[in-house]
Amino acid sequence: MSESTAASASLGDRISEALSFKTIFTVNLFGQSIPITETVITTWVVMLILIVGAILATRKLREVPSGFQVFVEGFVGFANNFVKEQIGHHWRAFAPYLGTIVLYLGVANMIAFISPRAGFGFEPPFSLKPPTRDINVTAAMAIMTIVIVLFSGLIIKGPIGWFKGLFKPAPFMLPFNLLEYIIKPLSLCLRLFGNILGAFIIMELIGMFVPLVAPPIIGLYFDLFDGLIQAVVFTFLSTLYIAEAVE
């Protein structure tokens, strides 16, 4: 095998390994073996970060905010105002869900930035890969959103009002309006999955060829900025879909 062929094979193996979802351990429940993969472990890490952050941010609240409390109240106020502006007087029921989505996706998409990277013969003891590079995660989040869209429309408009809405603006729009309940979650799922997976692959390639200086610098865009943008886009589209359902 030539040197270039060997290098190509090595590169392909490393990319395949980076894109794989390793099973860390299995849980036996009711006679079934449930694999706990890297995606699940990283999701637990994200949950832990959010829970600990929430406890620390709210443990010493004051009537006159100062320090980090100013930032927390500013974020909550901005999120509530945004949801209220987009959804209207039904906003209060959806603000906690949408706020949780943007926080979870923000941390999940950017978690690779704090992960140690391999290079120059160094293999890190662990690696934190964004769980949203797994299409199962993005599909689950998209399904949650479309279920909320469907049931919020049924509850707020009533079954008859919701059914009449399927014929607007004209009766021939019925099949297209029904297709939206498939197209919308599919769009949410694939957009988030594709962007995060693409950024992850790019960072893995950069780490393979220039492992010392480039990853932290370039990661400011692909791990931090792009991850935050994708969290905002997913949340914004979810807000618009809910607003359409309850309008």
Which is more confidently placed, 178 or 208?
178
- Cα–Cα distance for residue pair 182/90, rounded to 1 Å: 24
What is the pTM (predicted TM-score) of this model?
Answer: 0.84
> Which residues is 122 bridged to in the sheet?
119
- Structural contact between residues 83 and 98, judged by C-beta atoms closer than 8 angstroms: yes
- Is a pLDDT exceeding 50 seen at residue 138? yes
Q: What is the pLDDT of residues 82-136, one digit of tens each?
A: 999 998 888 888 999 999 999 999 999 888 777 766 555 556 656 778 899 889 9
List C-alpha distances in Å: 140 to 15, 85, 186, 193.
25, 27, 11, 11
Region of poorest pLDDT, from 66-70, 135-139, 143-147, 216-220: 216-220
> Which residues is 33 bridged to in the sheet?
28
Number of domains in the chain: 1
The pLDDT of residue 7 is 46
Region of poorest pLDDT, from 41-50, 76-85, 195-204: 195-204
- Is a pLDDT exceeding 80 seen at residue 188? yes
- Cα–Cα distance for residue pair 103/192, rounded to 1 Å: 15
- Is a pLDDT exceeding 80 seen at residue 179? yes
List C-alpha distances in Å: 242 to 141, 174, 191, 208, 235.
14, 19, 18, 42, 11
Half-sphere exposure (Cβ direction) of 53: Cα atoms closer than 13 Å:
13
- Is a pLDDT exceeding 70 seen at residue 18? no
Q: How confident is residue 178, by pLDDT bands cut at 50, 70 and 90?
A: confident
Q: What is the pLDDT of residues 58-84, one digit of tens each?
A: 887 787 777 778 888 888 899 999 999
The pLDDT of residue 11 is 61
Q: How many helices (H) and strands (E) does the chain have?
A: 8, 2
> What is the extent of the structural domain holding 216?
3-246
Report which DSSP code applies to 185.
H
- Is a pLDDT exceeding 70 seen at residue 45? yes
Torsion sign, CA atoms 67, 227, 143, 18: negative
- Is a pLDDT exceeding 90 seen at residue 163? no
Q: How confident is residue 214, by pLDDT bands cut at 50, 70 and 90?
A: low
32 burial level (CB within 10 Å; 0-12, 13-18, 19+): exposed
Rg (Cα) of the chain, in Å, rounded? 22
Q: What is the pLDDT of residues 23-39, one digit of tens each?
A: 777 888 787 888 888 88
Which tokens go with 160? 């008859």
Query: What is the rounded average pLDDT of the residues 171-178?
Result: 82
Which of these, 151, 44, 148, 55, lies nearest to 104 by C-alpha position? 44
Cis peptide preceding 65, ω within 30 of 0 = no
Report which DSSP code applies to 30.
T
Which tokens go with 114? 């704090």
- Structural contact between residues 103 and 201, judged by C-beta atoms closer than 8 angstroms: no
- Is a pLDDT exceeding 70 seen at residue 215? no
Residue 16 amino acid letter: S
